[in-house]
Amino acid sequence: MKDCLGNVIGGEEVLAASGATFEKLGPATGEVVCRVARSGPVEAAAAVAAAAAAQPAWAALPAARRGEILFKVAEALEARAAEMAQVVHAETGKSLKDALGETLGAVALGKFMAGEGRRLYGRTTTSALDNRQAMTVLRPVGVAALIIAANTPVANVAWKVFPALVCGNAAVLKASEDTPRTASLFAAMAREAGLPPGVLNILHGLGAEAGAALVREPGVGVISFTGSTAVGRFIMETAGARLTKIFLELGGKNPFVVCDDADLDLAVRWAALSAFSNAGQRCASASRIIVCAGVYDAFRERFLAVAKAQKVGTSDADDFGPVINARQLANMLAVVDQARADGAKVLCGGERLTGQGRDNGFFLGATVLEGAGPDQPISRQELFGPICCLYRAQDFQHALALANDCDYGLTACVHTASLHRAQEFVRGIQAGVAVVNAGTYGSEPHMPFGGLKNSGNGLREPGTEALAVYTETQTVYIHHNPDAA
C-alpha cells in the first residue's frame, strides 16, 4: 500500500500542498485501505488550470480520433477488468462478482461513447434567403468538472469521463472520498492507453473541501454531478450564479407497484433485487413498495421470506455487502429508529449486523417496515441503504397516486398482466424512467437516465442525450456569391 494516494494533475501525481491526508476505510473491515490527499482550493485551481491548458489541443483533434483514443481506454479497462474489480471490491465491500459486472458495464459504456466520436452530428437545414446555407455544429464547452458518488464507482467514472472527453472537453474528476483508488486506477489506465496528460485530472479530498472548491472555480465551463439533492442545490446556487452549465443526477425514493393481477413470484424477485442489491445503494433503488389490497397479504408473506433469506457479506455467494461508511449506517439506523417510534413496524432487519467476520464492518441486513405514514421521514427521505417500506393501496389508481406522492421522480416500476394498466402507469407516473414487470434500476449505455422533480434538472446521461451536457450548439450561416463562381 502506498503511503498516500495523490491527485493526478497534468499527468503528475501531486499531494495536497498542505500535506493533509485522510484515511479511506474498507466498509467490510473498518480497516484503513489507503491514505489519500486531502485537497482544497489550491489543488482544485491547479487541476482546472491543467485541464484548461490541455483542452485546446485535445479539442483540435478530429472527434473520430478522440473516439479512437477513448476506445483504447475502454479496451485497457477491459483487459485489466479483474484488477479494477479487486479495487472496487476492497473500496466498497461488494462481491468480486458484482464488482466485475460493474467494471464490464463501464467498458460497454466506454465503447459506446467512443463511437460517438464519429457521430457528433449537427444538422443542415434550409434558409429563407438566397445563396445561404444554414447548419448547426457541436462545440466542446471547455473544462468539465465531474463529481461522482461511491455506490458504483467505476461505472460512475465511465458515465461522465467518456462523454465529456469525446465531445472535446478536458476534465477534472472529483473522486468520491469513499472510492479514491478506483478513480486513480482508471486515470492510470487511460494514460497508458494514450490519453494525453491534463485531459483527465483526478482531484481527491472531502466533498465539502475539494468538491466545493471545484464548484467555485471560475474556469469550469460545465459541472456534471451525481449525488444528493442537498449538494445539487448547493451547486446550483454557487455555480449557477455565474451561469455555469450544470447537470444534476440526484436522489430517488422510487416506487415499486404490485397490482392485483401481477405474477407475484416475479414481482417478489424483482422487488428484492430493486430494494436490496448493492446494499440498496442505488439512486434507482426501490424503497417504497406499494401493493394493491387484493394481493397485499400474499405478496407480504413471500417478500418477507425472501428478505429474511438475504445473505449479507462480501463473497460471491452473498446477496449484498456493507454500506459505504459508518456515517451512512448511523443515519440509516436513526431514521429506522424514528419510524419505529412513530408507529411503523420493523418486519425484519433494522439493526447493524455483527458476527461472521462482520464486527468491524458497516453491515445492515435487509430491512422491511410496514405501517409508516406517507409523510413520515422514512417515506420521504432517500436513505441509500437496504431499507424499504410496504404500503397497502386500495386499487391501481390509489397505488399510482401513492407512487406520485413524492418529492422525487427518478425511476418507477409496475407489475401487472394488463397492457392497459401498464400503459396508464407509464403515462401517469412522474418519473424519468418507467419500467414494466422488472425492477426500478438498470440502464443501458445507449439509453438516457435521469429524473424529474428533486431527482434532477432536466438533462440526461448516458445515451446520445449526454452529448447535450458536454457541448454547446453553434449556429452557422454560410453565404456565397454565384457570380464569383
* pLDDT at residue 3, rounded to an integer: 76
How many CB atoms are closer than 10 A to CB 208?
11
**Per-residue pLDDT tens for 384-400?**
999 999 999 999 999 99
Say what the pLDDT of residue 90 is.
96
pLDDT of residue 138: 97
By annotation, the residues acting in catalysis are 249, 283
Mean pLDDT of 410-419: 98
- Residue 473: CB atoms within 10 A of its CB come to 11
Q: Is the pLDDT of residue 375 over 70?
A: yes
**How far, in Å, are 64, 164, 456 from residue 225 at the CA level?**
26, 12, 10
- In 177-284, DSSP assigns E strands to 200-203, 222-226, 245-249, 254-258
Residues 169, 164: Cα–Cα separation, whole Å: 6
Task: Tell me the average pLDDT across 108-118.
Answer: 98
Angle (CA) 109-384-172 rounded to 5° is 45
Which run of H or E residues covers position 396?
helix 396-404
pLDDT at site 485: 86
Q: Model confidence at 1, in pLDDT bands (50, 70, 90)? A: very low
Mean pLDDT across 326-338: 97
pLDDT (tens digit per residue) in 457-476: 999 999 999 999 999 999 99
> In 227-325, which ranges are continuous DSSP H helix?
229-239, 264-276, 293-308
Residues 24-79: tens digit of each pLDDT: 999 999 999 999 999 999 999 999 999 999 999 999 999 999 999 999 999 999 99
Please give the domain boundaries of the chain with CATH numbers for all domains: 7-250+456-475 (3.40.605.10), 254-436 (3.40.309.10)
Give the pLDDT confidence of 307-323 residue by residue, as tens digits: 999 999 999 999 999 99
Q: What is the pLDDT of residue 442?
A: 80
pLDDT digits over 154-177, tens only?
999 999 999 999 999 999 999 999
User: Quick one: pLDDT at residue 443?
Assistant: 86
Between CA 16 and CA 359 the distance in angstroms is 33
The answer to whether the beta carbons of residues 171 and 56 sit under 8 Å apart is: no
Task: Evaluate if residue 213 carries a pLDDT over 70.
Answer: yes
Average pLDDT, rounded, for the chain: 96
pLDDT value, residue 387: 98
What DSSP string describes 355-393?
Answer: STT-TTS--B--EEEE---TTSHHHHS---SSEEEEEEE
| Three-state SS at 287 | strand
The pLDDT of residue 198: 98
Q: What share of the chain is helix, strand, coil (3-state, %, to 5)?
A: 40, 25, 35
Q: Which residues pair with 224 in a beta bridge?
A: 146, 247
At 417, the amino acid letter reads A
Instruction: Look up residue 143 and give its amino acid.
Output: V
